[in-house]
Amino acid sequence: MNRMQNKRAYVYGGLLLVLIAVPFALSEEPYLLAIINFTIVYAILCLGLNLILGYAGLLSLGHAAFYGIGAYATAILMARHGFGFLPALVISGLLALLMGFVLGLPTRKVRGDYFCLLTIAFGEIFRLVSQAWIDFTGGAMGIVGIPIPNVLGWQITSETDFYLLGMVLLLFTYVTLRMLIASKYGRAFIAIREDELAASVMGINTSSYKILIFSIGCFYAGLAGSYLAVYQTTVTPSNFRLEESCLMIIMVIVGGMGRLEATFAGVALMTIAIEFLRPFAEYRLLLIGAIMILVLLFRPQGVFGDSSFRD
């Protein structure tokens, strides 16, 4: 056991050193660092979405809306009301969680495909409202001039700074989700994932747990949106289309549903694929969809999932 623990410590320590070295190694490659920063955003989003899809079995095609709620909340609080980044970050996450809780309530009555349609409708309503409500959201032009974030005296201005901030948020997301899954709540989540009927017979209130899972997943989407807002210094409705939600779902499926670590691989693989497909922008969605179909046909548990589907 000690040998295994030492091996893990060396692996995690080495990985940490690599992650710390990345921004300095790429200091002369701002474009590559920018791609990595956007990859961090998707990793945070997809970790939360994997909780929703991989544990509750809820297909949310409106996840971009909760991402948008976090982004707009941070933009409005910082650009119009003078909030600092940390308070805006927390409020954005909690607001997305609250909206997730409200939207999750119908899971008591609405299941499967109908819930999926409900999330699509919510996502499109959010996008249309954000375009039309000019006085509040800035309309199609969005909100610009979001201040540079200051975290405990650390002025975040460069790509390297944003990388380090993003890694802190990503680490927070992964560690808290890992702790949640290791808790008694996590054991209930896994029981629901493995066999919802058996879980309900065991006395687990599956409906309440699904609402909890959905709300928590939305909280992390709010954090990702908050980070996006300060990174781009602008927020527009075009960031939160149905296409974004579909891309997140594909990333989770490609990596492996119900496995947090597989999420990183799915996000990385799809980010690389998107970059290679950039010259074929008009066919990009078609090609990405084809990738997902191939994965579902030949590796339904995901590229890095396992056939037993256990975390």
Distance from first CA to last CA of the chain, Å, rounded? 20
pLDDT surpasses 50 at 308: no
Looking at residue 1, its pLDDT comes to: 47
> What mean pLDDT is predicted for residues 227-240?
93
Q: Which of 102, 58, 75, 122 is nearest to 228 (CA)?
A: 75
Cβ contacts of residue 213 below 8 Å, gap of 6+?
Answer: 51, 52, 55, 56, 58, 189
| Residue 284: how many other CB atoms lie within 10 Å | 16
Q: Which of 261, 255, 89, 258 is nearest to 174 (CA)?
A: 261
User: What 3-state DSSP class applies to 253?
Assistant: helix
Between residues 64 and 203, the one the model is more confident about: 64
In which band, very low, low, confident or very high, does the pLDDT at 222 lie, cut at 50, 70 and 90? very high
> What mean pLDDT is predicted for residues 238-257?
90
Cβ contacts of residue 119 below 8 Å, gap of 6+?
Answer: 59, 60, 61, 62, 63, 103, 245
Alpha-helical regions (H) of 105-241? 113-132, 134-137, 159-182, 184-194, 196-201, 206-232
pLDDT surpasses 50 at 300: yes
Which structural domain, as residue segments, surrounds residue 186? 30-241
Q: Is residue 152 part of a domain?
A: yes
Q: Is residue 279 part of a domain?
A: no
Report the distance separating Cα 142 and Cα 237, nearest Å.
7
Do residues 33 and 169 touch, judged by C-beta distance below 8 A? no
Do residues 149 and 92 touch, judged by C-beta distance below 8 A? no
Q: Is residue 230 part of a domain?
A: yes
Q: Is residue 307 part of a domain?
A: no
pLDDT surpasses 50 at 309: no
Do residues 210 and 104 touch, judged by C-beta distance below 8 A? yes
Split into its structural domains, the chain has a count of: 1
Report the distance separating Cα 256 and Cα 249, nearest Å.
11
pLDDT surpasses 90 at 102: yes
Determine what percent of the chain is predicted with pLDDT higher than 70: 88
Q: Is residue 22 part of a domain?
A: no
Q: Is residue 40 part of a domain?
A: yes
Report the distance separating Cα 131 and Cα 282, nearest Å.
24
> What mean pLDDT is predicted for residues 228-243?
92
Segment 112-166, tens digit of pLDDT: 678 889 999 999 999 999 999 988 888 888 999 999 999 988 899 888 899 999 9
pLDDT surpasses 50 at 295: yes
User: What 3-state DSSP class applies to 258?
Assistant: coil
Q: Is residue 20 part of a domain?
A: no
Q: Is residue 81 part of a domain?
A: yes
pLDDT surpasses 90 at 168: yes
pTM summary value:
0.90
Segment 47-86, tens digit of pLDDT: 999 999 988 888 889 999 999 999 999 999 999 999 999 9
Mean model confidence pLDDT for the chain: 86
Amino acid of residue 103: L
| φ, ψ (nearest 5 deg) of residue 119 | -70, -35
